[in-house]
């Protein structure tokens, strides 16, 4: 190669456009064949091309360069052996982007294959890996850093392979798996990956609010706020072998309300099998209903669980356990729009039936405060929504205690 002559001939500023075009083709993995054209060429650019081929400049504003003829000119002049060699000599090494992308693609595939091997005994987690790959979540979290991605996915796979756990604290799990007690916090890359697996395993559709995240973690046995948001029960009994079961039994014997924490339900889970199977467990929305049942009926009251408004993590864990044990769940809540929303959730998620929440029950109840907010359709009674709109009044549970308490036991 005659580098000096090559640069004097092809490396002049007037031919920069030609070198850029050739370089772009090489980066895309395309052969340097055919021709390249330039519209609106300057006189200097036309002169430079004419000198390459030893001819007079054209008057037309457009230029077309035949690449085979150009390669032949350079070879006959013994400046270089190929156009590709000339481009590299003038503008520096060229990365083939297609080959690079293919190579990166193979490396990313190996990252996921490694995780699949680690989870070979957990086919239920393969949809999680497929989602990470399909959505590009892992790539975004790591900013294209393959080494970081490999480390992150190995840590995540090691954690999710242990699901479900039995009351492991989130901070403890993070410290053990990643050496950082905050590695599983909201917004952290590892936390985002592992939480996504928990949500898929437990059927929690969204994790963009704190309660949904707590539900997803609790569903795989990981504790976030293990003592907050307990669920209130009355006369609910379970096995005598677990600490939680014995505590429930003790309080039921005396007809005393008992609050169950998420910690208890995960670390000392009670067994309801054979105890509530085939039996009715009543559910209510407001603590005043459960308090009235405890005061008036005591140990004679039927098993009652209070969600205290929207079910928190402990309530959802308990209702899921009762439903799995074959209990017949029946629910009563407020006749207002938020109350119907809560009832829909409990009906749909836990398979509960309505307890005195028909259109007739609503019409028979005394008037309450004016209805406010956006109407909600009741999944168990399609005519309830229009009836409430027509009447325009709420009916809270405390207003119908005399109708509810007889269902719970003898007066």
User: Closest by alpha carbon to 115, among 178, 58, 194, 189?
Assistant: 194
- Report if pTM > 0.95: no
Q: Tokens representing 320? A: 């899921």
Angle, nearest 10°, between helix axes 210-219 and 189-202? 70
Q: Three-state SS for 381? A: coil
Mean pLDDT value of segment 119-139: 92
Query: In this structure, are residues 343 and 357 in contact, taking their beta carbons and an 8 Å threshold?
Result: yes
**Domain limits of the chain?**
3-95, 112-223, 231-408
Angle, nearest 10°, between helix axes 3-10 and 43-53? 140
Integer angstrom CA distances of residue 285 from 68, 85, 224, 261, 355: 83, 79, 24, 17, 12
CATH topology of domain 231-408: Dna Topoisomerase Vi A Subunit; Chain: A, domain 2 (3.40.1360)
Name the pLDDT band for 410 (thresholds 50, 70, 90). Answer: low
- pLDDT tens for 153-197 read 999 999 999 999 888 888 888 888 888 888 999 899 999 999 999
For the chain, how big is the Rg over CA atoms in Å? Answer: 36
- pLDDT tens for 16-32 read 989 899 988 888 888 88
Task: Please classify residue 17 by burial: count the beta carbons closer than 10 Å to its beta carbon, then call 0-12 exposed, 13-18 middle and 19+ buried.
Answer: middle
- pLDDT tens for 310-329 read 898 899 899 999 999 999 99
Task: Please classify residue 281 by burial: count the beta carbons closer than 10 Å to its beta carbon, then call 0-12 exposed, 13-18 middle and 19+ buried.
Answer: buried
- What pLDDT score does 39 carry? 86
Name the pLDDT band for 7 (thresholds 50, 70, 90). Answer: confident
Query: In this structure, are residues 275 and 236 in contact, taking their beta carbons and an 8 Å threshold?
Result: no
Name the pLDDT band for 411 (thresholds 50, 70, 90). Answer: very low
- pLDDT tens for 389-407 read 999 999 999 999 999 999 9
Mean pLDDT value of segment 372-391: 96
């Amino acid at each position: 190669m005659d580098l000096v002559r090559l640069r004097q001939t092809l490396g002049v500023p007037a031919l920069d456009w030609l070198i850029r075009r050739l370089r772009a083709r090489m980066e895309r993995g395309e052969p340097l064949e055919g021709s390249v054209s330039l519209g609106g060429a300057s006189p200097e650019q036309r002169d430079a091309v004419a000198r390459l081929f030893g001819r007079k400049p054209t008057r037309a504003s457009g230029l077309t360069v035949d690449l085979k003829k150009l390669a032949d000119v350079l070879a006959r002049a013994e400046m270089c052996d190929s156009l590709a060699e000339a481009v590299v000599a003038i503008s520096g090494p060229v990365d083939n982007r297609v080959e690079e992308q293919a190579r990166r693609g193979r490396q990313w595939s190996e990252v996921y294959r490694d995780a699949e091997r680690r989870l070979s005994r957990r086919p239920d987690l393969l949809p999680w890996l497929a989602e990470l790959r399909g959505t590009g979540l892992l790539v975004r979290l790591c900013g294209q850093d393959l080494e970081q991605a490999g480390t992150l996915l190995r840590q995540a796979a090691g954690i999710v392979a242990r699901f479900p756990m039995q009351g492991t604290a989130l901070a403890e799990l993070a410290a053990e798996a990643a050496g950082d007690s905050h590695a599983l916090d909201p917004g952290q890359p590892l936390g985002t990956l592992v939480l996504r697996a928990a949500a898929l395993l437990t059927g929690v559709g969204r994790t963009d609010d704190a309660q949904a995240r707590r539900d997803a973690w609790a569903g795989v046995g990981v504790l976030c706020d293990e003592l907050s948001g307990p669920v209130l029960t009355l006369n609910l009994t379970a096995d005598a072998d677990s600490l939680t079961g014995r505590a429930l039994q003790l309080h039921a014997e005396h007809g005393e309300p008992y609050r169950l924490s998420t910690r208890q339900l995960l670390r000392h889970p009670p067994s309801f099998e054979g105890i509530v199977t085939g039996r009715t467990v009543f559910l209510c929305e407001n603590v005043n209903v459960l308090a009235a049942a405890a005061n008036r009926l005591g140990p004679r009251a039927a098993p009652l669980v209070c969600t205290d408004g929207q079910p928190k993590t402990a309530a959802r864990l308990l209702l899921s356990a009762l439903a799995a044990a074959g209990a017949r769940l029946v629910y009563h809540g407020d006749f207002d729009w938020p109350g119907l929303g809560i009832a829909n959730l409990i009906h749909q998620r836990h398979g509960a039936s309505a307890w005195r929440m028909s259109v007739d029950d609503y019409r028979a109840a005394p008037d309450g405060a004016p209805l406010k907010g956006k109407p909600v359709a009741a999944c168990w009674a399609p005519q309830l929504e229009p009836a409430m709109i027509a009447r325009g009044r709420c009916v809270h549970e405390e207003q119908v205690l005399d109708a509810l308490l007889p269902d719970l036991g003898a007066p």
